[in-house]
Amino acid sequence: MNKQVLKGTVAVFIVLAILDYVVNAVLLKSAYEATAHLWRPEAEMKIWIFQVVSLFVAYFFTLIFSKGYEGKGIGEGVRYGFYVGMLMAVPMAYGSYGAMPIPYSLALQWFIYGLIEYVLAGVVVSMVFGKKAATA
């Protein structure tokens, strides 16, 4: 693994961990409390799985970015984050809505917050990789 991918993985992992906490423990806390009958009791939750999944996502998010990296700066990261965000947030939010008796408002928030998280992760990974100097 090259240094840029390793640095990008760590940076994206940290950003996703912070944003996941803000979204799930703060912004969506009341929505989760209102639908508590759908979730495992807190004592039975397997929180470590979330960390493993986040590390997996951070690594592959960064690796795929590195393969198509054009060095165009933050705009490239926003675009990449938007594409990945759509790929990840739509099926997660609306697939869950189709399978579980959750309110539509929760699915919509999962979609919006998920998309924002991936756009910000794209910005972070583009900053790690930097902008390539223009060639004459």
76 inside domain: yes
Integer Cα distance of 132 and 53 in angstroms:
31
113 inside domain: yes
124 inside domain: yes
Structure-block tokens of residue 126: 């583009």
134 inside domain: no
What pTM does this model have?
0.91
106 inside domain: yes
- Count of domains for the chain: 1
Other CB atoms within 10 A of residue 61 CB: 24
In 3D space, the residue among 43, 33, 45, 24 whose CA is nearest the CA of residue 92 turns out to be 24
Q: State what percent of residues in the chain have pLDDT above 70.
A: 96
Structure-block tokens of residue 120: 């910000």
Q: What is the mean pLDDT of residues 61-86?
A: 96
136 inside domain: no
Whole-number pLDDT of residue 132: 76
135 inside domain: no
Q: Residue 96 is part of which domain span? A: 3-35+44-129
109 inside domain: yes
Does 99 have pLDDT greater than 60? Answer: yes
Residue with tokens 């930097």: 130
Other CB atoms within 10 A of residue 69 CB: 18
